[in-house]
Amino acid sequence: MRAVKLNGIHEEIVKVLSCRAASYARPSSSDEIGRALNVSPSYVRGCIRPLVELRVVGVRRGRGGGYYLKRVRDLALNA
């Protein structure tokens, strides 16, 4: 698999999900991520879409749903 190059907001979303230890059993909502980054939940949902399409972030739909990290080892964070 190729490494995924992330920009600033994507990197921050990944950090929040990592710090919260988000998993399928306990995902983080866009509201929780937005509060951590001081941005609106709708902005988070728009920014997280490319990460979902690249299968870096997973989505659990429905009540109690949210986002969680799927593949941490393939990430290439800006250094």
Q: What is the pTM of this model?
A: 0.78
The answer as to whether 3 is a domain residue is: no
**41-79 per-position pLDDT tens digit:** 999 999 999 898 888 899 999 998 999 998 665 555 544
pLDDT of 67 reads 95
pLDDT of 24 reads 84
How many Cα atoms occupy the beta-carbon half-sphere of 14 within 13 Å?
23
The answer as to whether 76 is a domain residue is: no
The answer as to whether 4 is a domain residue is: no
The answer as to whether 35 is a domain residue is: yes
As for how many domains the chain has, the answer is 1
The answer as to whether 61 is a domain residue is: yes
Domain that holds residue 52: 12-71
Distance CA 37, CA 41 (A): 10
The answer as to whether 39 is a domain residue is: yes
**2-51 per-position pLDDT tens digit:** 555 668 888 899 999 988 888 888 999 999 999 999 999 999 999 999 89
